[in-house]
Amino acid sequence: MTQPQHIILMGAPGAGKSTQSRLLKARYPLHVLATGQMLRDEVTKRSALGLLAEAYFETGALLPDDVMIAVVTERLIRLAPNQGFLLDGFPRTVPQAEALDKLLQRLARPISAVIALSLDDKQVVQRLGGRRMCEGLGEPFPLHIDDKASVDACLRLGGRIVTRPDDEPEVIVERLRMYEAETAPLIDYYRRAGLLHTISAEGTPEEVQAAIVQILEQTSNPPVTG
């Protein structure tokens, strides 16, 4: 990438946003703003924001727009002007997207691309039902309970295997319902803006990343026409 990119990564719960964010951060100089992890960190610290977030996590509901807008605004305005970023988990509603547009216009940071990871509900339930987090080894990272090698490595290195509250079976169903009701309309919002790129999330993490990289390279170096 020759210019800092400002990327939004979208997708239903379990589509692999956290995994792709981690892979892209390793490849490009991107500051990842993963709102879900930021809120979970606040829960761990038992801050006022964390206590509020915990109540929403337990039901699968989304935090109020004004709370999420304030959280992201506070972090974006602190970034250096030449720092690219990737938003994982924000925006999740059209009002959040509209507020983000106004903020980025004020900061002169236009969105480069919106990547939407597509995955059917059956796959989402299978992934989230077996998803666990490895904690205690730096930044928490997701793994699947069926991935014995990753589970063993986490435990061998002194990590802990935990289930996120929002990955409990009854919460998964509610998260999907909320996604369809409030987040899916963002697809149309960003399609109309000419920023949307939809990618199947059914492949391996490496296959999905390759598709994303191809889009980002084209966005960073658009073909010369005329």
Q: Which residues are catalytic?
A: 17, 92, 131, 164, 175
Residues 6+ apart with CB under 8 A from 23: 205, 209
| Cβ proximity of 223 and 37 under 8 Å | no
Distances (CA, A) of 150 to 39, 100, 135, 145, 201: 25, 37, 13, 9, 20
Distances (CA, A) of 129 to 108, 145, 170: 41, 9, 10
| Cβ proximity of 103 and 76 under 8 Å | yes
* Amino acid at residue number 215: I
DSSP string, 100-134: HHHHHHHHT----EEEEEE--HHHHHHHHHHEEEE
